[in-house]
């Protein structure tokens, strides 16, 4: 005979198992739904916020949490999504090795960790100037569970659920967070892949500048609204010599570096790579003289400072340009494009004749 006490414990165990299975199914359903919706999100922060909101709901032991992402340029982790935490939490900037997670991790940040007594950890690591965290109701955060996020094998950030209670997290919560983090990584990889496909539909793969299709779509709207603009076509003067002498890989690096320089110019729309060493700029709020001054100044900079590529090589590379205005020089994109192209190559022929005469 099973005693009533043992029977009660068995029933409690069954109920606990049932709840855990229910929780796991809840996680699966949510993450499946989110993975199918990835294509509908244009902003990764909106996607991450939805994930964090549901992770907090699923764990059901807290009302606050955050997602920290790694900035590859600075090397710091910063909160991109914050729920239920004080505004001061938004200003946190920490190196990965200085995070709470890293201090208690036994595998250098590669697995989910539980910190049941966060205050004890902070007090014991005063040499690292660790700061206390508060909720948006000014309540002290006393514990946290943190799962690292890796995308394509590289550290991407972490998802954290925080609690104002001591030791509220169980090993089951850790299992749930592990599962959430791994699926989130798959979702993020899919988002990044889709985002890249969307980006490349309107941008050049090499220089990351806008492409011809992007420019045509933009200008088509301008022409439909009868809005005036100038199109500037630009062509590097001695790019063929660079390609012939140093090879196409160096030539590609020159185009990448030159594209970055074009982004610094005060144009109305992002610079466009038309193809090869040909680029375009769109100006809406400047007259022709102002645009000429911008281009002449840029030309002098390119000739005096040159174009420095990643390897350190520097090339003194001038360029020719042609400017056409809508609607004065044409009533369609093709007409404006043709006019600026004609002016560009007329200038380029004159430049080549001068170079031969000088030689």
Distance CA(35)–CA(182), nearest Å, equals 12
* Nearest C-alpha neighbor of 147 from the set 111, 95, 171: 111
Distance CA(255)–CA(273), nearest Å, equals 9
pLDDT of residue 115: 94
* Four-way CATH pick for 212-358: 3.20.140.10, 1.10.357.10, 3.30.70.270, 3.30.365.10: 3.30.70.270
E strand intervals along 175-242: 229-236
pLDDT of residue 358: 43
Coil, helix or strand at residue 15: helix
Question: What residue segments make up the domains of the chain, in order of their start?
Answer: 4-200, 212-358
The conformational region for residue 332 under phi > 0 = left, psi -120 to 50 = alpha, else beta, is: beta
pLDDT of residue 4: 59
**Topology of domain 4-200, per CATH?**
Beta-Lactamase (3.30.450)
The residues of the chain scoring below 70 in pLDDT are: 1-18, 20, 31, 35-36, 38, 107-108, 126-129, 350-359
* Nearest C-alpha neighbor of 271 from the set 200, 204, 330, 345: 204
Cα dihedral 254, 257, 258, 261 in deg (nearest 10): -170
pLDDT of residue 14: 63
Cα dihedral 117, 123, 127, 130 in deg (nearest 10): 60
pLDDT of residue 8: 58
pLDDT of residue 357: 42
- φ/ψ of 149, rounded to 5, equals -120, 125
pLDDT of residue 11: 56
């Amino acid at each position: 005979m099973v005693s009533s006490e043992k029977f009660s414990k068995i029933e409690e165990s069954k109920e606990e198992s049932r709840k855990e299975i229910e929780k796991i199914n809840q996680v699966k359903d949510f993450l499946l739904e989110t993975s199918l919706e990835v294509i509908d999100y244009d902003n990764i922060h909106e996607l991450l916020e939805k994930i964090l909101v549901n992770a907090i709901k699923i764990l059901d032991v807290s009302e606050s949490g955050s997602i920290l992402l790694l900035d590859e340029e600075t090397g710091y982790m910063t909160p991109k999504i914050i729920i239920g935490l004080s505004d001061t939490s938004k200003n946190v900037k920490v190196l990965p090795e200085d995070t709470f997670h890293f201090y208690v991790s036994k595998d250098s940040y590669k697995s989910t960790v539980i910190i049941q007594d966060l205050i004890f950890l902070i007090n014991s690591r005063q040499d690292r100037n660790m700061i206390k965290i508060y909720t948006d109701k000014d309540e002290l955060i006393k514990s946290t569970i943190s799962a690292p996020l890796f995308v394509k094998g590289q550290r991407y950030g972490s998802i954290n659920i925080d609690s104002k209670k001591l030791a509220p997290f169980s090993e089951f919560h850790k299992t749930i967070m592990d599962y959430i983090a791994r699926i989130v990584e798959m979702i993020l990889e899919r988002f990044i892949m889709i985002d890249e496909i969307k980006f490349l539909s309107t941008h050049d793969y090499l220089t990351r500048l806008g492409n011809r299709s992007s420019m045509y779509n933009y200008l088509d709207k301008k022409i439909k609204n009868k809005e005036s603009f100038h199109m500037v076509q630009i062509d590097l003067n001695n790019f063929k010599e660079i390609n012939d002498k140093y090879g196409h890989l160096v030539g590609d690096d020159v185009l990448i570096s030159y594209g970055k320089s074009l982004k610094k110019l005060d144009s109305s729309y992002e610079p466009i790579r038309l193809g090869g060493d040909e680029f375009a700029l769109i100006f809406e709020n400047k007259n022709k003289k102002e645009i000429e001054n911008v281009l002449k100044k840029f030309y002098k900079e390119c000739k005096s400072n040159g174009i420095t590529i990643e390897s350190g090589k520097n090339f003194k590379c001038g360029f020719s340009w042609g400017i056409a205005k809508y609607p004065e020089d044409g009533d369609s994109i093709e007409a404006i494009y043709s006019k600026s192209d004609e002016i560009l190559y007329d200038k380029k022929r004159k430049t080549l004749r001068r170079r031969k005469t000088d030689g």
